[in-house]
Amino acid sequence: MNLLCIGISHHTAPLELRERLWFSDDEIRAALPKLKEAGFHECVLFSTCNRTELYVFTTEADFRVDFLKKFLIEQKSARSHINEENLFSYFASGAAEHLFRVASGIDSMIVGDVQILSQVKSGFNLALATGTAGFFMNKLFQSALHIGKRSRRETHISEGAVSVSYAAVELAQRIFDDLGSKKALVIGAGDTAQLTAKHLLGKGIGKLFITNRTHERAELLAKMSGGTVIPFEHFTERLAEIDIIIASVNADKYILEKTDIERMNKGRHGSALFLIDIGVPRNIDPEAKDLDNVFLYDLDSLNGLVHENVEKREAEIPRIREIIGEELAILFQWHSALQASPTIAALTQLLEQIRKEEVEKNIHRFAPQDQELIELVTRRIVNKILHTPIVNLKNGHDESHNDRLTKISIIRKLFGLDARKERSHAG
C-alpha cells in the first residue's frame, strides 16, 4: 500500500507553528492539483486548529517525503518558522492507522473530540470536488468515517463534558427538560462566560441576557451571541424571571448575596434555579447552596466533573484500538484483492468450478468414449472465455492507476469474487 501521511499536530508542534501551516479551503483547492501534477495519484489535505495533514497515494516506490514536506512549508511560505523536523510522517499501514486514530478522536487534544470527524469528512469532500481523491482515497476515508461513527456509537469516547463551560451546560440539561423555555443571564464578558453563552445558545436556550460592568463589552458579547444586554446597575431587578445565571466577573465581594437568591426564589413556586459561579474570587455567596431548589456550582465542582469525564473517555481507548484493528484488517483484505494476480486466480477458479460442476452433473448423458472429449472441449471453452479478460488485466500498464483499480473492482463485483471469498472463509 503506497500510502503516505505528512503533517503537523499538537503532538509535534506548538500552536505558533501549527497556525503557520493552517490551510484555508481555498488554499487546499489551490494546493491539491499541484500535487497531482507532480505525479501523486491521489491526495487529500485537511486542516484544523490542532493539525494539518496531507495524505498521498502513489504507485511509485519512492514516496518523495522530502519533496512533500517542502511543498507544505512552501505553500504557506513558512520556511522561516518551520523546518522539515516539525513535520511527522507515516507510511503504508502506519498512515492508514494514523488516519483512523484521528477520525476516532483518540488522537485529538481533547480525547473524543466530536468535531474532528466532520473536519476529516470535509477535507475528503474538498479533495473529491478538486478531483484529487479517487478510488483508493474513497475507500480509505470511508473506512475512517465509519470508524469515527463506530467509536461514537459503540463506546463512550465522546460522552461527558470535558470543558468547564460545557460541563455547566450539561449540568443544566440534567435539571431542565427544555432549555428553550428557560432564560439565562450571563454576568461578565470573559472567555469562559462567552463560551458558556455559546454552548447555551447551541442547546437552544430560550432567552439570553448579558450584563457587564463595562457596557461596551456586554454589547459586544450580545452582538456575537444574539443576547440582550441588561445594564449592570439594574440586573438584580430582572432576577425573578431568570432560571440560569452564569457569573464570571472580577469583584472583591459577592455580587449575589444569599438574600438576593432567597428573594429570587420566592416567586418561583419551587422551580429550579441554576447558578454557575466561575468567578475568582467567587461572585455568588456559597451559602445560597443550602436554599431549596437552588443548584449552585463553582469552578472546583465543575472541574471535578470535567476530570471524571476525561478519565472515563481515556478508559475507552483500548476498545477504540480494537475497532481500528478490525477496520484495518478489512482495508488490507480489500486492498490486496485489488491486485491483478489474485483477481485472475479467483476468476479462473470460479469458471473452472462452474465447468466442473456442470460436467459432473451431465457427464452420464454421454457415451463413455465421449466423456474425455467433453472434458477437453469444456476446458477449452473456459480458457477461451478467460483469455481476453486475463490479457487485459495483465496489460494494464498504459492505463492510469485509478482506471486499473476501477477495472479490477468491476470484475470482482460482476463475478461476485469477494462474496465468494467471504463464503469460503465462513465455510
Partner 1 sequence: MEHIIIIDILNIALPLLYFLLVWVYGKAFFADFPWARELKSKILFGIILIHFVYLLDRTFVFNHPPATTIFEILTLLAFSVAVSYAFIERLSRAKETGYFILNIAFFFQIASSLFIKDLLEVPDVLRNPLFGLHVTSALLGYAAITISAVYGFLYLMLYHEIRASKFGVIYKKLPNLETLERMSFIAITMAFGLLSLAILFGFIWLPKAFDDFSYLDPKLVGTLLIWAMYGTGIIAKKRGGWTGRKVMLLSVFGFVFTIFSMTVVNMLFSKFHNFH
Q: Kindly list the catalytic residues.
A: 49
Tell me the C-alpha distance between 273 and 176, whole Å.
10
Other CB atoms within 10 A of residue 31 CB? 19
Measured from the CB of residue 73, what is the shortest distance to partner 1 in angstroms? 46
- In the complex with partner 1, the residue whose CB is nearer, 156 or 355, is 156
How big is the chain, counted in residues?
427
Measured from the CB of residue 2, what is the shortest distance to partner 1 in angstroms? 38
- In the complex with partner 1, the residue whose CB is nearer, 10 or 319, is 319
- In the complex with partner 1, the residue whose CB is nearer, 26 or 177, is 177
Q: Would you state the cell numbers that stand for residue 187, as one nine-digit string?
A: 454576568
Identity of the amino acid at 275: L
DSSP state string for 284-323? B-GGGGGSTTEEEEEHHHHHHHHHHHHHHHHTTHHHHHHH
Interface residue list for partner 1 (CB under 8 A): 154, 156, 171, 173-178, 269-272, 289, 292-293, 295, 297, 301, 304-305, 308
Measured from the CB of residue 238, what is the shortest distance to partner 1 in angstroms? 19
Q: Which residues of 284-295 are buried (b: 16+ CB within 10 A; e: fewer)?
A: bbeebbebeebb
Measured from the CB of residue 126, what is the shortest distance to partner 1 in angstroms? 34
Measured from the CB of residue 256, what is the shortest distance to partner 1 in angstroms? 18
- In the complex with partner 1, the residue whose CB is nearer, 271 or 333, is 271
Tell me the C-alpha distance between 226 and 143, whole Å.
39
- In the complex with partner 1, the residue whose CB is nearer, 250 or 293, is 293
DSSP state string for 158-223? T-S--SHHHHHHHHHHHH-S-GGG-EEEEE--SHHHHHHHHHHHHTT-SEEEEE-SSHHHHHHHHH
- In the complex with partner 1, the residue whose CB is nearer, 298 or 327, is 298
Tell me the C-alpha distance between 387 and 348, whole Å.
10
In degrees rounded to 5, what are phi and psi of residue 408? -60, -40
Measured from the CB of residue 294, what is the shortest distance to partner 1 in angstroms? 8
Tell me the C-alpha distance between 390 and 344, whole Å.
6
Question: What are the beta bridge partners of residue 208?
Answer: 184
358 to 351, 369, 424: CA distances (angstroms): 11, 18, 20
Q: Would you state the cell numbers that stand for residue 46, as one nine-digit string?
A: 485537511
